């Protein structure tokens, strides 16, 4: 992490969920050779960096976010030599590769945990968190965060599934092992890390300070000094539990610890506050705009931010914030790209987003594979909730929404692979697939590709100041970005209806890119359903 090199500020990052990207050997599971075979596709979009969700050895209770050996590659994804080939092939094309780093917890099948649970005085006991009595902290994946271990008659702590015991970051020996492992991967030539729930490593269990806990800064500092400093890499920390002020501190160019963080304020707006993600609330566009504006303001002078709608945990953006009905899908997907990625920050695109892939509604819970979804379902049934009500939450928020196999073409299994995929393909692949989308002049991919070319060309996208326009309007998301040489105007209509605006004060702006007929600024003008446009002051 060399703070003088800031290529990552203007880089386009593409997240690959290896299970679901491309299956090369017909076992129904995406793999590394599959990824290698599509590097040209990725490059063609204008991508600079690939982020791989975990490919380490894992019993896959949480699809790889439960690691049983940090040094081994999961054979279902390939071998270490496949990884080396991936690095070589990617670098050859000017693509960098970052890996997922999951160090808040391991799998319960990790050798450390297997040892740790043997006896109270086992040398690995203190690698994990044990108590005689549990407190009332709940697991993110339902139930208590404590599981009783029969053999040694204590409880171990797991903020996620019981198969994911939390590591004890208070233990310097454990920290040292982790740093060694991180340096092993960096020395191998990877270009950085996405750090899973890294705001949790500063926690203090007994006073229930979990996210952004009292030790976070010192831990991140040690991590930076021992592993990241002096290397030409990028780091992005997933931090669901910190506020934007802290995110700015943590990413400060001089005194910070990471290049950027993932912030979650905007993806929490369609849930009832305090009741968790499954308690659905209709999205208020005004609130969404204000949330973004706050973040943009906070990062005005220093720190750095990431921009994302979706990832492997979040539902598909077009189904959530846009409109996935046929007449609107492509336009609303293009609109979402335009308004999000014209802001200041590093853009992250999740696989399939570039062709406007949609969420999934499986009829029955038995088709779902995600541990969070299944645990919640079982819990809700026990509490007496009705199935249709539970399914409604799953349709809106379940993590399998974004995990269905990539839709490459209209052939068998959407061209994902020759055998039945591990998770069912979305039936809309017959018309929604990358072959179809890329030759379509109104396709999402062609628009997005042009958009990112434009974004790279004009420095105002990287550095320009953000100013929100029409803050109280419920349909239009409009703002300007300006630096010493340019001002650009960004307009997106979040509604399926057209609306009339007087934007005549922008009459000296010309269109750079629009997803339909540009706005006529000389008069009161109709802005069509899901319109998106970028304009520049003459």
Residues that bind ligand TEU (CB under 6 A): 62, 65, 102, 140, 160, 196-197, 238, 240, 277, 312-313, 372, 399
- Minimum distance, C-beta of residue 18 to Ca ion, in the bound complex (Å): 9
* From the list ligand TEU, Ca ion, none, partner contacted by residue 399 (C-beta under 5 to 8 A by kind): ligand TEU
Residue 324 binds what, of Ca ion, ligand TEU, none (CB under 5 to 8 Å, by partner type)? Answer: none
Find residue 490's DSSP bridge partners: 479, 534
**Burial status of residue 239 (CB atoms within 10 A of its CB: 0-12, 13-18, 19 or more):** buried
89 binds Ca ion, rule: CB under 5 A: no
Decide: 339 and 322 in contact? Cβ < 8 Å: no
- For residue 29, the partner it binds in ligand TEU, Ca ion, none, with Cβ less than 5 to 8 A by kind, is Ca ion
Name which of Ca ion, ligand TEU, none residue 313 binds, using a CB cut-off of 5 to 8 Å depending on partner kind: ligand TEU
Rule CB under 5 A: is residue 437 a binding residue for Ca ion? no
- Least separation in angstroms between residue 443's CB and ligand TEU is 29
Determine contact, residues 155/223, Cβ cutoff 8 Å: no
Rounded-to-integer distance, Cα 133 and Cα 488, Å: 58
Choice between 198 and 340, CB closer to ligand TEU: 198
**Whole-angstrom Cα distance, residue 139 to residue 360?**
26
Decide which of Ca ion, ligand TEU, none touches 160; Cβ closer than 5 to 8 Å per partner kind. Answer: ligand TEU
State the minimum distance, in angstroms, from the CB of residue 418 to ligand TEU. Answer: 27
Tell whether residue 419 is a contact of Ca ion (CB under 5 A): no
Which range of residues in 4-12, 23-31, 330-338, 367-375 is near Ca ion by CB under 5 A?
Answer: 23-31
Comparing CA positions, the residue from 312, 314, 333, 313 lying closest to residue 322 is 333
* Smallest gap from residue 16 Cβ to Ca ion (A): 14
Determine, following the binding rule CB under 5 A, whether residue 212 of this chain makes contact with Ca ion: no
The reply on whether position 79 binds Ca ion by CB under 5 A is no
The span from the CA of 16 to the CA of 359, in Å, is 17
Angle between helices 172-187 and 216-223 (to 10 degrees): 40
Closer CB to Ca ion, residue 23 or residue 354?
Answer: 23
CB atoms within 10 A of CB 224: 15
Residue 90 vs 102, nearer CB to ligand TEU: 102
Residue 490 to residue 132: CA distance in whole angstroms: 57
Q: State the burial class of residue 517 (Cβ atoms within 10 Å of its Cβ: 0-12, 13-18, 19+).
A: exposed
Phi, psi of 469 (to 5 degrees): -110, 160
Shortest Å distance, C-beta 241 to ligand TEU? 8
- Residue 27 interacts with Ca ion (CB under 5 A)? yes
Does the active-site annotation cover 196? yes
User: Which one, 65 or 466, has the nearer CB to ligand TEU?
Assistant: 65
Least Cβ distance, residue 26 to Ca ion (angstroms)? 7
Assigned token pair, 498: 């057209």
What is the C-alpha separation between 330 and 57, in angstroms, rounded?
Answer: 38
Candidates 23, 38, 82, 372; binder of Ca ion (CB under 5 A) is: 23
Q: Which is nearer to ligand TEU, 15 or 342 (CB)?
A: 15
Of 62, 212, 238, 436, catalytic: 238
**In the complex, which residue's CB is closest to ligand TEU?**
65
Q: Which is nearer to ligand TEU, 348 or 501 (CB)?
A: 348
Separation CA 458–CA 535 (nearest Å): 12
Where do we find the tokens 């271990």? 149
SS3 of residue 79 by DSSP:
coil
Which among 108, 196, 270, 495 is annotated as catalytic?
A: 196
**Upper half-sphere CA count for residue 222 (Cβ side, 13 Å):** 15
Q: How far apart are CA 223 and CA 179, in angstroms?
A: 7
Q: Out of Ca ion, ligand TEU, none, which partner does residue 333 contact, by CB within 5 to 8 A per kind?
A: none
Q: How many residues does the chain have?
A: 538
Q: Could you tell which of Ca ion, ligand TEU, none binds residue 196, using a CB distance below 5 to 8 A set by kind?
A: ligand TEU
Chain centroid to CA 325: how far?
24
Closer to ligand TEU by CB, 240 or 533: give it. 240
How far apart are the C-alpha atoms of 506 and 525, rounded to whole Å?
12
29 or 182, CB closer to Ca ion?
29
Q: Say how far apart CA 132 and CA 152 lie, in whole Å.
A: 10
Report in angstroms how near the CB of residue 373 gets to ligand TEU at its nearest: 9
Q: Answer with the entry of Ca ion, ligand TEU, none that 415 interacts with (C-beta below 5 to 8 A by kind).
A: none
Strand 56-57 vs strand 69-73: parallel, antiparallel, or unpaired? antiparallel
Task: State the catalytic residues.
Answer: 196, 238
Enumerate binding residues for Ca ion (CB under 5 A).
23, 25, 27, 29, 31
């Amino acid at each position: 992490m060399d703070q003088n090199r800031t290529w990552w500020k203007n880089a386009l990052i593409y997240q690959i969920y290896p299970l679901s990207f491309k299956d090369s050997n017909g076992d129904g599971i995406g793999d590394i050779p599959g990824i290698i075979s599509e590097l040209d596709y990725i490059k063609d979009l204008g991508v600079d960096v690939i982020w791989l969700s975990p490919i380490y050895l894992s019993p896959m209770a949480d699809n790889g976010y439960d690691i049983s050996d940090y040094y081994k590659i999961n054979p279902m994804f390939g071998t270490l030599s496949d990884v080396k080939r991936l690095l070589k092939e990617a670098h050859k094309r000017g693509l960098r590769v970052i890996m997922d780093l999951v160090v808040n917890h391991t799998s319960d099948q990790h050798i450390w945990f297997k040892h740790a649970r043997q006896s109270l005085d086992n040398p690995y006991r203190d690698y994990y968190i044990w108590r005689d009595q549990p407190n009332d902290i709940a697991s993110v994946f339902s139930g208590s965060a404590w599981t009783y271990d029969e053999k040694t008659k204590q409880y171990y702590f797991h903020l996620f599934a019981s198969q994911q015991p939390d590591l004890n970051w208070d233990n310097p020996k454990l920290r040292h092992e982790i740093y060694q492992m991180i340096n092993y991967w960096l020395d191998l030539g990877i270009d950085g890390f996405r750090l899973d729930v890294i705001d949790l490593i500063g926690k203090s269990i007994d006073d229930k300070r979990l996210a952004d806990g009292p030790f976070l800064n010192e831990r991140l500092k040690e991590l930076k000094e021992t592993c990241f400093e002096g290397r030409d890499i990028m780091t992005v920390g997933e931090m669901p539990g910190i506020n934007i002020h802290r995110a700015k501190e943590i990413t400060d160019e001089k005194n910070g610890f990471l290049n950027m963080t993932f912030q979650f304020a905007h993806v929490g707006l369609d849930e009832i506050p305090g009741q968790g993600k499954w308690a659905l609330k209709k999205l208020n566009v005004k609130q969404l705009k204000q949330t973004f504006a706050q973040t943009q303001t906070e990062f005005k002078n220093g720190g750095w931010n990431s921009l994302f709608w979706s990832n492997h945990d979040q539902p598909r953006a077009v189904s959530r914030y846009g409109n996935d009905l046929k007449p609107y899908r492509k336009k609303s997907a293009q609109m979402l790209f335009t308004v999000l990625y014209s802001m200041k920050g590093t853009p992250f695109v999740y696989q399939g987003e570039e062709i406007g892939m949609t969420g999934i509604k499986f009829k029955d819970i038995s088709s779902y594979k995600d541990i969070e979804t299944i645990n919640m379902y079982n819990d809700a049934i026990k509490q007496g909730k009705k199935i249709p009500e539970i399914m409604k939450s799953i349709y809106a928020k379940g993590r399998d929404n974004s995990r269905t196999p990539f839709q490459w073409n209209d052939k068998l299994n959407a061209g994902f692979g020759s055998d039945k995929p591990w998770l069912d393909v979305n039936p809309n692949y017959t018309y929604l697939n990358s072959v179809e989308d890329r030759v379509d002049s109104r396709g999402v991919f062609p628009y997005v590709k042009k958009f990112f070319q434009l974004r790279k060309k004009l420095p105002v996208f990287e550095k320009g100041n953000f100013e929100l326009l029409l803050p109280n309007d419920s349909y239009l998301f409009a703002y300007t970005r300006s630096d010493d040489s340019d001002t650009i105007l960004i307009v997106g209509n979040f509604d399926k209806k057209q609306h009339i605006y007087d934007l005549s004060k922008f009459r000296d702006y010309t269109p750079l890119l629009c997803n339909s007929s540009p706005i006529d600024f000389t008069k009161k003008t109709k802005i069509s359903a899901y319109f998106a446009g970028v304009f520049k002051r003459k």
